[in-house]
């Protein structure tokens, strides 16, 4: 939720905030707020739609600062949309706002930011949970049970009566401070409902929820109580430099100062509507809103049991659109974040809002490319309907299109949002009849894996060229290459990005724990380095010839730390940010959409494919940088070296890069019903494959000769 103008009022009344040192305690983080805050606070790039590697590093840094101060964070996320549709208007407004942000290329949170955030929390072993619906109420209840503060930027927490107070995100300095070698802390400003005594002697905290109600929130339109609020254009005492909104809120609070009970305040509000009618209805609106803010004092939450690892999932009931219960694995997955709230929305409401990205707004939505994947998800969810409606014939009958027979996708059409009803794929030729959600846990791993791959149109034979750890990534890439209008250059840019991200991750992880092997490799002589590189090249070529398996992690892992650092500097040393054509933005937005919905399908099927960390497989900043380098064929480095020259300095990396690229293009071309452009690509691939074979042969011969030579030198010290 959010109360209109309340944050501005608090900002203009600093007496309501007091200095506070945060350390040696539990703290509850509003997860959804924190996702946005970190991305915005640290000026991560928005124009490239997905600066995930830097995002990952910033999240790591913040939680390491919590640890230094002995602060134990618990992160709580919002779940699905409300079943009552009470917030549908607000959700559509936010979707429309994202389109405006995309037009201005400004502050648009990437669609995979939540996934990146959750993956980082899991890596750092930070406890987190996803609520059924909006998390505010559950956060407030748990905070009072634990008597710990809440960190958020949601203005609703100014309204809840939180015993330990509320720490607005914008007033938290995440740089640790130290007191005389005793302890570290984070400097914050704390809000508490008792602080109102500093500005109003007789104001009762019970009036705060009433104030929030008349100002309007996500459930109440701002003009609902206009007949009452319009009377307060100015406070009794003039406030210098205050905005109209702040002045009005100050005047309303001063007015409420005279009331001792909630009933008196409500009566004062409703009397202004005597001539309008509907007083009883208005009183009901007020009472419902007040209850949302005040029931935390008596309500209980399941989150305590969840964080104590004693929650019985079998005792929790959740049902889909047709009234059928969720299986236990889905309930557990929705809690622990291994299943996205998007799945809950699809299952419970038969509705999903597809978030706009940085894309070409003159083209169809970037999510159109992943429609086939979503239709499979819808098909599985629709199999859970009642026995009468679960027959294919019933779904196939001509009837009025609605959420009973289709899923409503709220997506953009050019620069406007619109609803499109998409039919589920109950069964398809490649696989057959889809399972119900109750049948998923009874399926074998191979059957679930087969369903994911056939949904993407990827064969096991094609994936056999790659190590199993890369199958998820390669399957998504193959689907994207096949269904998009992507060029070879744009594929190469993405492969380069994936390689450099994995290298940067290796460097990041290695620096966190200094090992003996790294220190030894740093002192190797040039001759010894070259000797081992020849061995690695030879082993790599033999692995390609004998096993035909491309193992990205193994190959990059065989590089020494100094080599990784050198490659990282060479490939990213002098890049300059710039604007890229909308067409290129659109292509990579399509790739992100493919990643998102393939991940959702994989989650629903209990993850038969292992998903790599997001920051290792996509970063918009790097992909556009490499795209520009390849486009110009003269990278803007500090040393002015062409990108292909840089790659040639590291033969193993060059071979890996070319092998992945050519295998992807060849795999997409080999699929049936490929568009006309495939002939041009096939001819290009044939020429490239010929050159690659010659290059491999030459490198193999040279490496063998060098190896034989050095083996014949008796005094070589290794």
Question: Taking residues 302-306, what's their average pLDDT?
Answer: 93
Whether residue 516 is predicted with pLDDT greater than 50 in this model: the reply is no
In degrees and rounded to multiples of 5, residue 541 shows phi and psi of -65, -45
CA dihedral over 121, 126, 132, 138, signed as positive or negative: negative
Whether residue 513 is predicted with pLDDT greater than 60 in this model: the reply is no
Give the pTM: 0.84
Question: Taking residues 662-677, what's their average pLDDT?
Answer: 68
pLDDT at 234: 58
Q: Would you say 176 and 186 are in contact if contact means Cβ atoms under 8 Å apart?
A: yes
Q: In which residue are the tokens 């994911």 written? A: 452
Whether residue 480 is predicted with pLDDT greater than 50 in this model: the reply is yes
Q: Would you say 365 and 592 are in contact if contact means Cβ atoms under 8 Å apart?
A: no
Q: In which residue are the tokens 């309303």 written? A: 252
Residue with the bigger pLDDT between 581 and 155: it is 155
pLDDT at 700: 58
Whether residue 588 is predicted with pLDDT greater than 60 in this model: the reply is yes
Whether residue 524 is predicted with pLDDT greater than 90 in this model: the reply is no
pLDDT digits (tens, 9 = 90+) for 637-655: 444 556 667 777 777 788 8
Euclidean distance between CA atoms 219 and 221, whole angstroms: 7
Alpha-helix residue ranges (DSSP H) falling in 524-669: 526-546, 552-557, 561-572, 582-604, 620-632, 643-648, 651-669
pLDDT digits (tens, 9 = 90+) for 237-284: 545 556 777 877 888 888 777 777 778 877 777 776 665 556 777 777
The radius of gyration of the chain's CA atoms, rounded to the nearest angstrom, is 29
The two most distant CA atoms of the chain are separated, in Å, by: 106
Q: Would you say 406 and 350 are in contact if contact means Cβ atoms under 8 Å apart?
A: yes
- Judged on CB neighbours under 10 Å (0-12, 13-18, 19+), 84 is exposed
Which range in 292-301, 320-329, 513-522 is most confidently predicted, on average pLDDT? 320-329
DSSP-based three-state secondary structure for 294: helix
Question: Taking residues 336-342, what's their average pLDDT?
Answer: 97
- Chain-wide mean pLDDT for the chain? 80
HSE-CB at 75 with a 13 A cutoff on CA atoms is: 23
Whether residue 446 is predicted with pLDDT greater than 50 in this model: the reply is yes
Of the candidates 137, 139, 159, the one whose C-alpha atom is nearest the C-alpha of residue 3 is 159
Alpha-helix residue ranges (DSSP H) falling in 309-459: 328-336, 341-349, 371-382, 392-396, 437-440, 445-456
**CA 644 and chain centroid, separation:** 33
Domains in the chain and their CATH numbers?
Answer: 13-198 (3.40.50.1010), 200-297 (no CATH), 316-454 (no CATH), 457-711 (no CATH)
Q: Name the band, by pLDDT with cuts 50, 70 and 90, for residue 631.
A: confident
Q: How far is CA 634 from CA 102, 109, 249, in A?
A: 30, 32, 59
Q: Name the band, by pLDDT with cuts 50, 70 and 90, for residue 633.
A: low
Whether residue 713 is predicted with pLDDT greater than 60 in this model: the reply is no
Pick the range with the lowest mean pLDDT from 536-550, 642-656, 702-716.
536-550
pLDDT at 650: 76
Whether residue 451 is predicted with pLDDT greater than 70 in this model: the reply is yes
Q: Name the band, by pLDDT with cuts 50, 70 and 90, for residue 561.
A: low
CA dihedral over 436, 438, 444, 450, signed as positive or negative: positive
pLDDT digits (tens, 9 = 90+) for 67-122: 999 999 999 999 999 888 878 888 898 999 999 888 887 778 999 999 999 999 99
Q: Which residues of 657-678 are buried (b: 16+ CB within 10 A; e: fewer)?
A: bbbbbbbbbbbbbebeeeeeeb
HSE-CB at 437 with a 13 A cutoff on CA atoms is: 31
Euclidean distance between CA atoms 463 and 477, whole angstroms: 11
């Amino acid at each position: 939720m959010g109360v209109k103008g309340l944050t501005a009022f608090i900002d203009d009344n600093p007496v309501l905030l007091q200095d506070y040192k945060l350390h040696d305690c539990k703290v509850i983080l509003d997860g959804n707020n924190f996702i946005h805050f970190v991305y915005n606070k640290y000026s991560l790039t928005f124009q490239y739609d997905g600066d995930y590697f830097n995002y990952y590093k910033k999240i790591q840094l913040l939680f390491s600062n919590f640890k230094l101060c002995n602060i134990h964070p618990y992160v709580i996320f919002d779940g699905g949309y409300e079943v009552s549709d009470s917030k549908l208007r607000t959700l559509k407004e936010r979707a429309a706002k994202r389109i405006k942000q995309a037009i201005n290329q400004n502050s648009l949170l990437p669609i995979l930011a939540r996934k990146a955030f959750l993956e980082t929390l899991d890596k750092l072993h930070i406890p987190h949970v996803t609520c059924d619906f909006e998390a505010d109420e559950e956060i407030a209840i748990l905070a009072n049970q634990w008597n710990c503060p809440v960190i958020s930027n949601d203005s609703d927490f100014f309204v809840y009566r939180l015993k330990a107070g509320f720490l607005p995100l914008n007033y938290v300095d995440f740089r640790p401070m130290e007191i005389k070698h005793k302890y570290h802390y984070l400097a914050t400003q704390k809000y508490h409902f008792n602080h109102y005594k500093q500005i109003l002697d007789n104001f009762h905290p019970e009036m705060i929820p009433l104030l929030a109600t008349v100002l309007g929130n996500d459930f109440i339109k701002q003009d609902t109580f206009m007949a009452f609020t319009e009377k307060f254009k100015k406070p009794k005492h003039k406030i210098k430099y205050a905005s109209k909104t702040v002045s009005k809120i100050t005047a309303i609070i001063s007015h409420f100062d005279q009331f001792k009970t909630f009933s008196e305040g409500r009566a004062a509000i409703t009397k202004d509507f005597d001539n309008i009618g509907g007083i009883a209805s208005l009183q009901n609106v007020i009472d419902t809103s007040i209850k949302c803010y005040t029931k935390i004092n008596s309500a209980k939450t399941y989150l305590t049991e969840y964080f104590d690892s004693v929650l019985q999932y079998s005792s929790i009931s959740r049902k889909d659109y047709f009234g059928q219960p969720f299986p236990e694995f889905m309930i557990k997955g929705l809690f622990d974040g291994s299943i996205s709230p998007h799945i809950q929305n699809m299952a419970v409401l038969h509705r999903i809002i597809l978030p706009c990205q940085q894309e070409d707004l003159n083209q169809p939505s970037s999510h159109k490319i992943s429609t086939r994947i979503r239709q499979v998800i819808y098909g599985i969810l629709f199999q859970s309907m009642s026995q009468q409606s679960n027959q294919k014939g019933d779904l196939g009958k001509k009837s009025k299109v609605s959420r009973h027979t289709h899923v409503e996708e709220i997506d953009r059409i050019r620069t406007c949002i619109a609803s499109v009803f998409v039919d589920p794929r109950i069964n398809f030729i490649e696989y057959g009849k889809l399972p119900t959600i109750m049948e998923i846990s009874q399926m074998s791993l191979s059957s679930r894996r087969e369903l994911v791959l056939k949904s993407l149109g990827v064969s096991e034979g094609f994936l056999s060229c790659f190590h199993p750890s890369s199958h998820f990534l390669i399957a998504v890439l193959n689907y994207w290459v096949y269904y998009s209008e992507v060029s070879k250059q744009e594929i190469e840019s993405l492969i380069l990005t994936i390689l450099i991200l994995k290298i940067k991750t290796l460097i990041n992880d290695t620096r966190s724990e200094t090992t003996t092997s790294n220190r030894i490799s740093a002192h190797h002589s040039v001759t010894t380095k070259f000797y081992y590189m020849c061995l690695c090249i030879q082993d790599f070529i033999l692995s390609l010839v004998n096993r035909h398996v491309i193992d990205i992690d193994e190959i990059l892992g065989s590089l020494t730390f100094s080599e990784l650092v050198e490659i990282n500097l060479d490939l990213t040393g002098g890049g300059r940010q710039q604007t890229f054509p909308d067409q290129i933005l659109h292509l990579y937005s399509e790739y992100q959409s493919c990643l998102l919905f393939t991940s959702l399908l994989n989650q629903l099927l209990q993850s038969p494919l292992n998903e790599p960390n997001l920051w290792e497989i996509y970063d918009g900043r790097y992909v556009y940088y490499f795209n520009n380098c390849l486009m110009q064929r003269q990278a803007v480095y500090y040393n002015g070296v062409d990108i292909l020259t840089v790659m040639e300095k590291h033969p193993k990396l060059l071979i890996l890069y070319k092998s992945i690229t050519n295998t992807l293009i060849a795999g997409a071309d080999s699929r049936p019903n490929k568009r006309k452009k495939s002939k041009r690509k096939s001819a290009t691939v044939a020429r490239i494959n010929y050159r690659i074979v010659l290059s491999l042969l030459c490198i193999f011969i040279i490496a063998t000769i060098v190896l034989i030579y050095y083996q014949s030198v008796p005094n070589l010290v290794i």
